[in-house]
Amino acid sequence: MKKLTGIAALWIASILVVPGNLGLAGQVFAQEGSKQLTDEQYEKLKQKRQEQWQTQEQIDKDSKTGERLKNGVKHRDDALKRQKAAEQRMKEMEK
């Protein structure tokens, strides 16, 4: 009996909920007072966004270049340390 009541409750809820949500999802409301962009305004907006995109790409590129430079300096320093240690070991082996 409890199963039947639970199933009936789910069925009633689905009937009430699904059509209500589908109706709202299908509607699109325009903003009051919205205007269409002219071709000139659209081109200006497009150019502004392109400039912003290029600026962001340049910033990303510069930051990556700085990171690569730091990593390169670190690798060079590590290599010099290893080379000095190897030379020292060679001198100790010769003695």
| Residue 6, pLDDT score | 81
The residues spanned by each domain of the chain are 58-95
Q: How far is CA 82 from CA 72, 76, 88, in A?
A: 15, 10, 10
| Residue 67, pLDDT score | 80
> Residue 37: which residues within 8 A CB-CB, separation 6 or more?
45
| Residue 76, pLDDT score | 94
Mean pLDDT confidence for 83-91: 92
If one compares 45 and 14, the residue with the highest pLDDT of the two is 45
The share of the chain scoring above pLDDT 70, in percent, equals 77
Mean pLDDT confidence for 51-74: 85
Which residue type occupies 1? M
**Composition of the chain by helix, strand, coil, percent to 5:** 85, 0, 15
Rounded to two decimals, the pTM is 0.36
